[in-house]
Amino acid sequence: MTSPKVETRLSTSEPVKKETFGNLAPWSEPAWYSSLASPYYNKSHKRLRDAIRSYYDDNVLPYSLDWEEKGDAPLEARLKYARSGFTFADVPAKYRPADIPGPAGIPVAQLDIFHLMIMTDEGARVEGGVGTALAGASVIGAPPIIYHGTEEQKQKWLPGLFTFETSFSLGITEPSGGSDVANIQTTAKKTSDGKFYVVNGYKKWITGTPWATHMTTAVRTGGDGMKGISVIVIPVNAKGFSWKRIPNSGQKAGGASFVELDDCLVPAENLIGKENEGFRIIMTNFNKERFIMSIACNRKARTCLSTSLSYAHNRHTFGKPLIANQIISSKLATLARYVESHWAWLEQIAYHIQQSPLGWQDPEIAGQIALSKVHGGRILEMANREAQQVLGGAGYQKGGPGASIEQMSRDLRMMVVGGGSEEIIADLAVRQETALAKKRGWKL
Ligand SMILES: Cc1cc2nc3c(=O)[nH]c(=O)nc-3n(C[C@H](O)[C@H](O)[C@H](O)COP(=O)(O)OP(=O)(O)OC[C@H]3O[C@@H](n4cnc5c(N)ncnc54)[C@H](O)[C@@H]3O)c2cc1C
């Protein structure tokens, strides 16, 4: 019997040199950087990636842990960052200074969700709350204005982001609870002439407050529950607005603060959208916030994997490198499985959002995004734990090869609890997916 003929195709052209980028150690960058082919990224994405990588490497990473320790970044670093175009990318061109067209010179109208993934992923290489010290919390505080504000509000507030003349925090959580948004207790009552709201209440853990000029705030203007909630933008210099930083385990440069609103007088024209229709604004804002957090969890877990992989090669115990022990390489393989598959899921969600005419408002995505954030948080917890084990004492030390890992161990709770805590959004995912399945015809 003759064996079947195997055809070998030989290309006559020169072999294409495969592009590589960044850290070439296994799993240390998203697969599309140097290993697997991907349908999602083009030249524009690469251009953005290259530019943002060198910006952070040159301007932020050498100083970031120092800034985190101080709880602030120097003014010139903040102004440079605001003008870099790597932040506030969702602010449309007409509200941007003419000389800041977009990140890496890419006009913002040409940015897609994969550009957002790159900016978020690369930004998450910076530990602590330094991203907030550099840009304020406008990444979560400005979108209600961008997507639901009037033309006048956008003209008034958005251009100032690039000079720090405006900076928006997002005030939802209260001392009585953050999960049950429909039951917030801060009230906003109209004055008899209808010109102002008088706001009373407390907000807790409000990121970016030290740099904020305004707090985009969830308030109760109507009756109980979600139908009585509005969103108003409160200037921090309004009479009756006071705040102080909350000492948390990590994220010091995130500036999470306690805010008191004591008969705070806010112009009625600072209402975003319609009165008592704020709950929907808050909830749709969460889709993007959670997606961003999910991406950040992935990169931070990748940093744990990458740092411990490199350490395991260099560190010798009992006469051989740590990596030579299967119990150590097994930890790394486990992390790689989780990090890579989570990233692939994020890319698929991104692709869906990009294709959907409804974009971030698409009803299919809230549950998927919520669950991907839960998963990202779990992966990050596991990756940080395993990295600390591989690094031993060095993973517990401030400074040295494990400095980022140690910092992350104090920061990561915020990634799991903030933007919707795990228990709440896992439950939301189950309810959303069940409802969607029934709509598609699933019968119990
Ligand atoms: C560093 C930091 C920064 C933050 N930044 C901001 C910000 O900028 N703006 C803002 O508005 N908020 C912010 N938060 C608040 C954050 O969003 C809330 O902490 C979060 O929503 C949870 O609210 P809570 O802490 O009041 O917990 P609670 O709502 O009191 O819940 C406590 C725990 O119980 C769980 N739980 C609650 N109800 C249930 C239930 N029915 N079933 C099962 N489990 C349940 C929750 O998952 C949570 O883990 C920040 C928090 C931190 C720590």
Mutate to test the pocket of ligand 1, among 259, 424, 425 (most ligand atoms within 8 A of CB): 424
Q: How confident is the model at residue 228 (pLDDT cuts 50, 70, 90)?
A: very high
CA pair distance 298, 342, nearest whole angstrom: 7
Q: How confident is the model at residue 260 (pLDDT cuts 50, 70, 90)?
A: very high
pLDDT for 17: 61
Question: Tens digits of per-residue pLDDT, 389-418?
Answer: 999 999 999 999 999 999 999 999 999 999
Q: How confident is the model at residue 10 (pLDDT cuts 50, 70, 90)?
A: very low
Instruction: Report the separation in Å between the CA atom of 170 and the middle of ligand 1, taken as the mean of its atom positions.
Output: 14
pLDDT for 15: 54
Q: How confident is the model at residue 8 (pLDDT cuts 50, 70, 90)?
A: very low
Q: How confident is the model at residue 18 (pLDDT cuts 50, 70, 90)?
A: confident
Averaged over 217-229, what is the pLDDT? 97
For ligand 1, say whether the CB of 417 is within 6 Å of any of its atoms. yes
Give me the interface pTM, i.e. the ipTM. Answer: 0.98
Question: Tens digits of per-residue pLDDT, 49-85?
Answer: 999 999 999 999 999 999 999 999 999 999 999 999 9
pLDDT for 5: 46
In SS3 terms, 257-322 reads as EEEEEEEEEEEHHHEECCCCCHHHHHHHHHHHHHHHHHHHHHHHHHHHHHHHHHHHHHCEECCEEH
Question: Tens digits of per-residue pLDDT, 111-166?
Answer: 999 999 999 999 999 999 999 999 999 999 999 999 999 999 999 999 999 999 99
Task: State the DSSP string of 386-429.
Answer: HHHHHHGGGGSSSSSTTHHHHHHHHHHHHHHHTTS-HHHHHHHH
1, pLDDT greater than 70: no
Residue-range domains of the chain with CATH: 31-135 (1.10.540.10), 168-276 (2.40.110.10), 279-439 (1.20.140.10)
Candidate from 115-119, 182-186, 281-285 with smallest mean pLDDT? 281-285
Q: Which atom of ligand 1 is nearest to the CA of 423?
A: 47
For ligand 1, say whether the CB of 421 is within 6 Å of any of its atoms. yes
Summary mean pLDDT of the chain: 95
For ligand 1, say whether the CB of 183 is within 6 Å of any of its atoms. no
100, pLDDT greater than 90: no
Question: 411 is written with which tokens?
Answer: 């920061």
CA atoms within 13 A on the CB side of 64: 25
pLDDT for 7: 44
434, pLDDT greater than 90: yes
Q: How confident is the model at residue 16 (pLDDT cuts 50, 70, 90)?
A: low
pLDDT for 326: 98
Instruction: Report the separation in Å between the CA atom of 179 and the middle of ligand 1, taken as the mean of its atom positions.
Output: 5
Q: How confident is the model at residue 284 (pLDDT cuts 50, 70, 90)?
A: confident
pLDDT for 285: 84
Instruction: Report the separation in Å between the CA atom of 270 and the middle of ligand 1, taken as the mean of its atom positions.
Output: 26
For ligand 1, say whether the CB of 412 is within 6 Å of any of its atoms. no
Instruction: Report the separation in Å between the CA atom of 421 and the middle of ligand 1, taken as the mean of its atom positions.
Output: 5
Q: Which atom of ligand 1 is nearest to the CA of 417?
A: 20
Cβ-Cβ contacts under 8 Å for 411 (sequence gap 6 or more): 127, 128, 129, 249, 250, 251
Averaged over 283-294, what is the pLDDT? 92
Q: Which atom of ligand 1 is nearest to the CA of 208?
A: 8
249, pLDDT greater than 90: yes
**3-state DSSP call for residue 179?**
coil
Alpha carbon nearest to ligand 1 atom 43, residue: 423
Instruction: Report the separation in Å between the CA atom of 388 and the middle of ligand 1, taken as the mean of its atom positions.
Output: 26
pLDDT for 266: 98
Asked if 97 and 162 touch (Cβ cutoff 8 Å), the reply is yes
388, pLDDT greater than 50: yes
pLDDT for 14: 56
Candidate from 101-105, 165-169, 214-218, 338-342 with smallest mean pLDDT? 101-105
What percent of the chain shows pLDDT beyond 90? 92
For ligand 1, say whether the CB of 182 is within 6 Å of any of its atoms. no
Alpha carbon nearest to ligand 1 atom 29, residue: 179
